[in-house]
């Protein structure tokens, strides 16, 4: 069976009560290739990969891995067949060491009872050396940078004998340097005979890392292309069925008065360590100010101080001319703040609420009088968001958890823009979104800028910051270490500043 495909999926169909996620999907992946699976949010690509990994059962169709048809199929069967998956949200236990995380569930023991730490270290050193993925087995995961945590996840699947590795949005939170390192790792693994499947929205990674690319739309495969024989534009056109416009740098426009003034703000983290130190900046009406930084350098704490979820230990926050440092989140929203949260599941949506219920979260009192929720205005609100933001499927009665991550984000963006804010804090607003959705969000932010809204954009996507920001602040170690004009620097220079190199 040497010539058998590494993976063959035939006639895969998956139905949910209100939507068909996959419809008669068939495709093959060759041994030793890097195969990208792309499509809009809700196109069915993540569901298809979860079916391959055994997390989601298919209603119809067959799966073959390395020439063997799998009849029973759950995650344990997938792992036994040599399939491993690295999820976008890492499945790691932060307080444990690298070694403890990698061997979790298959721990070597001595004396029949005790964890054999030395054997675990030796196994990890052997596998990491074999695949060129150097890690410190004794480092605590919570102290490791994101790129290193991803290596730990890859080593987890390699140690379990994976020959087919699925990577779900693998570059979502990486710096440009870490992205380059990951692409090198992917190519090295493929060169050693591993088969890599990448779910991604990013054309740069598709073009740089993959051998072939399968494009999905509305639950179906619309094409499989040799990467060298196609272009990012052709792939994007297949994904959305039309030409996609990249954001163009906007001409400078006179900015108004400051709608946000942050003055010498200091704050501690949840662990009691210094998270922010003497942070000062402003955002003026009609401008987009970007904040660039490696994850974990104070961005989350800064956002929380601005929206009222964390009390600064020093300094002040002024919103539209009023000092709001001690105000509640609701009072700040009433004063003109809107917030696209960095973690939509924790801060922005209730997964077991419907779309129409989520559409009024945080301002439900405006749709209730006297004490009763008025259904008509609520439905008009969500219908407007669905139409404007192209939410799919367009069913206001669906539970939020039944939507793809990108369509959940569209509801959040539509809801926050409906506030008509003076200041919009957009934290990673396009994370996990497809090309079409990214285009929509970026145009929406530019439209807010043109309307006179001050926009604070926190993003790990340097290309996004470079394209639509008027100026970019760089944060490192909880401090603002520099301000740059995006027209005067490139992504690599910005990436170096983020790591503390100038």
| Closest-CA residue to 336 (of 429, 260, 447) | 260
Which domain-ending residue is among 206, 240, 274? 240
What is the domain count for the chain?
2
- From first to last of its 502 residues, the chain has per-residue pLDDT tens of 446 899 999 999 999 877 788 999 999 999 999 999 998 877 889 899 999 999 999 999 999 999 999 877 789 999 999 999 998 778 899 999 999 999 998 898 887 788 999 999 999 999 988 888 889 999 999 888 778 898 999 999 999 999 999 998 888 767 677 788 889 999 999 999 999 999 987 888 899 999 999 999 989 999 999 999 999 989 988 988 877 766 666 666 677 899 999 999 999 998 889 999 999 999 999 999 999 998 789 999 999 999 999 999 999 999 999 999 999 999 999 999 999 998 888 889 999 999 999 999 988 888 988 878 899 999 999 999 999 888 888 899 999 988 877 788 899 999 999 999 999 999 999 877 778 788 889 999 999 999 999 999 999 888 899 999 999 999 999 999 999 999 888 888 887 888 765 5
Q: Report if residue 396 sits inside a domain.
A: yes
Q: Do residues 288 and 334 share a domain?
A: yes
**Bridge-partner residues for 29, per DSSP?**
7
Q: Do residues 190 and 281 share a domain?
A: no
d(CA 486, CA 173) in angstroms, rounded, equals 20
Q: Report if residue 250 sits inside a domain.
A: no
Based on its alpha-carbon atoms, the radius of gyration of the chain, rounded to whole angstroms, reads 24
Which domain-ending residue is among 240, 273, 301? 240
Q: Do residues 223 and 269 share a domain?
A: no
Q: Do residues 189 and 338 share a domain?
A: no
Within 10 angstroms of residue 401's Cβ, the number of other Cβ atoms is 12
So what's the pLDDT on residue 285? Answer: 96
| Closest-CA residue to 86 (of 204, 209, 198, 174) | 198
So what's the pLDDT on residue 306? Answer: 98
Q: Report if residue 251 sits inside a domain.
A: no
Domain extent at residue 134? 7-240
So what's the pLDDT on residue 8? Answer: 96
Asked if residue 120 lies in contact with residue 156, where contact means CB atoms within 8 angstroms, the answer is no
Q: Do residues 27 and 86 share a domain?
A: yes
Q: For helices 232-240 and 435-451, what crossing angle results, to 10°?
A: 90
| Dihedral of the alpha carbons of 388, 392, 396, 398, in degrees to the nearest 10 | -160
Q: Report if residue 253 sits inside a domain.
A: no
Within 10 angstroms of residue 376's Cβ, the number of other Cβ atoms is 8
* Direct distance between the N- and C-terminal alpha carbons of the chain, in angstroms, rounded to an integer: 54
d(CA 493, CA 502) in angstroms, rounded, equals 8
Within 10 angstroms of residue 257's Cβ, the number of other Cβ atoms is 12
d(CA 290, CA 305) in angstroms, rounded, equals 17
d(CA 465, CA 484) in angstroms, rounded, equals 11
Q: Report if residue 103 sits inside a domain.
A: yes
Q: Do residues 263 and 221 share a domain?
A: no
| Closest-CA residue to 398 (of 351, 360, 341) | 351
Q: Do residues 83 and 185 share a domain?
A: yes
**Bridge-partner residues for 85, per DSSP?**
166
Q: Report if residue 247 sits inside a domain.
A: no
């Amino acid at each position: 069976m040497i010539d058998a495909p590494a993976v063959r999926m035939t006639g895969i169909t998956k139905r949910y009560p209100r939507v068909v996620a996959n419809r008669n999907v068939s495709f093959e992946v060759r041994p030793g290739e890097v195969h990208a699976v792309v499509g809009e949010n809700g196109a069915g690509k993540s569901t298809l990969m979860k079916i391959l990994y055994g997390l989601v059962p298919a209603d119809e169709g067959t799966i073959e891995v390395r020439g063997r048809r799998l009849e029973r199929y759950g995650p344990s069967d997938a792992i036994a067949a040599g399939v491993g998956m690295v999820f976008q949200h890492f499945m790691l236990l932060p307080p444990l060491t690298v070694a403890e995380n990698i061997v979790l569930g298959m721990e070597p023991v001595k004396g029949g009872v005790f964890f054999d730490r030395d054997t675990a270290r030796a196994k990890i050193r052997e596998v990491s050396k074999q695949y060129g993925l150097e890690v410190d087995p004794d480092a605590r995961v919570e102290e490791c940078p994101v790129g290193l945590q991803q290596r730990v996840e890859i080593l987890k699947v390699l140690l379990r004998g994976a020959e087919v590795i699925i990577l779900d949005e693998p570059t979502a939170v990486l710096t440009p340097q870490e992205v380059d390192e990951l692409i090198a790792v992917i190519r090295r693994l493929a060169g050693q005979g591993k088969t890599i499947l990448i779910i991604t929205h990013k054309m740069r990674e598709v073009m740089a890392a993959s051998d072939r690319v399968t494009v999905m739309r509305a639950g179906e495969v619309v094409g499989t292309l040799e990467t060298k024989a196609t272009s990012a534009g052709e792939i994007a056109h297949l994904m959305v069925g039309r030409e996609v416009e990249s954001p163009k740098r906007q001409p400078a426009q006179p900015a108004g008065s400051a709608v946000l003034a942050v003055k010498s703000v200091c704050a501690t983290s949840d662990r009691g360590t210094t998270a922010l130190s003497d942070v000062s900046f402003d955002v003026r009406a009609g401008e987009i100010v970007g904040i660039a930084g490696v994850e974990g350098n104070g961005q989350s704490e800064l956002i929380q101080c601005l929206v009222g979820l964390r009390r600064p230990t020093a300094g002040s926050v002024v919103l539209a001319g009023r000092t709001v440092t001690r105000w509640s989140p609701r009072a700040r929203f009433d004063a003109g703040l809107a917030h696209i949260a960095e973690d939509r599941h924790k801060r922005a949506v209730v997964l077991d609420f419907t779309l129409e219920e989520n559409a009024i979260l945080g301002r439900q009192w405006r749709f209730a009088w006297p004490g009763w929720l008025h259904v008509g205005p609520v439905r008009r609100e969500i219908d407007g968001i669905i139409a404007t933001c192209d939410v799919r499927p367009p069913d206001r009665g669906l539970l939020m958890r039944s939507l793809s991550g990108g369509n959940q984000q569209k509801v959040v963006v539509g809801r926050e823009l409906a506030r008509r804010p003076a200041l919009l804090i957009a934290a990673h607003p396009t994370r996990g979104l497809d090309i079409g959705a990214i285009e929509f969000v970026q145009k929406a932010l530019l439209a807010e800028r043109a309307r006179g809204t001050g926009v604070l954009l926190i993003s790990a996507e340097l290309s996004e910051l470079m394209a639509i920001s008027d100026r970019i602040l760089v944060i490192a170690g909880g401090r603002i270490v520099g301000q740059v004009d995006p027209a005067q620097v490139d992504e690599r220079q910005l990436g170096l500043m983020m790591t503390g190199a100038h």
